[in-house]
Structure 1
Amino acid sequence: MSLEKATDTIKERVGDDAGLGATLKFDMGDAGVIFIDGKATPNTVSNDNNDADCTVGLALDDLNAMLAGDLAPTNAFMSGKLKVEGDMGVAMKLQSLM
């Protein structure tokens, strides 16, 4: 799945209000970023590399596996495939989007 497809999938799941109440960024290195503004009304999703309350670093393949339901965010974190910087509480709310 491409960055564009992953972004579209996240946009669908976030909808108008994902309940994050914060900003979150998926940083996939050279593959790009997906930025969720959960403070905006309605929530927005973009590929802008903005500062975020929580940044989740992972490979695009691992994000795609999480979106497909093949990789649980908790398992990705415990196995080192997912790294969290910033507000861990925001990252915990991520489970509901996946």
Structure 2
Amino acid sequence: MSDTIDAAVAALNDKMNGGFDGTAKFVIEGEGAIMVDESGARAGDEAADVTMTADSETFQAILSGDLDPTAAFMGGRLKVDGDMGAALRLGGALG
């Protein structure tokens, strides 16, 4: 597992404020994947309600709050495949 994935899992778990009732997968291009569900974030690559794909720089900017996920999606830097409602609920759970 890459240091980027390890750091992202830790950051996501720090940001989670509960309330996410689905499964989501973040794919960080060239690094790996992270699963998020009601129990938090962990490294993994399983089926999910929604899959969000971005490069490492974009993902880190979203996590740090420097880039709004909606702006990243609208600008083509974040790809979303699957249940858009789950993606929005995840955004709410991350605060």
Give the TM-score range, shorter chain.
Answer: 0.7 to 0.9
1:1-98 map, 5 Å = 2-14=4-16, 18-38=18-38, 43-96=39-92, 97=94
Q: What are structure 2's unaligned runs of at least 5 residues? A: none
Report sequence identity in percent: 35
Q: What are structure 1's unaligned runs of at least 5 residues? A: none
Instruction: State the Cα RMSD in Å.
Output: 1.6
> What is the CA-CA distance between 1:2 and the residue it aligns to?
2.2
Residue 30 of structure 1: SS of its match in structure 2?
coil
Could you tell me the TM-score, scaled by structure 1's length?
0.84
Residue 65 of structure 2: SS of its match in structure 1?
coil
Residues 47-69 of structure 1, C-alpha deviation per residue, up to 9 Å, x if partnerless? Answer: 11111011001112111101111
> What is the CA-CA distance between 1:44 and the residue it aligns to?
2.9
- The whole-number CA distance in structure 2 between the counterparts of 1:78 and 1:29 is 18
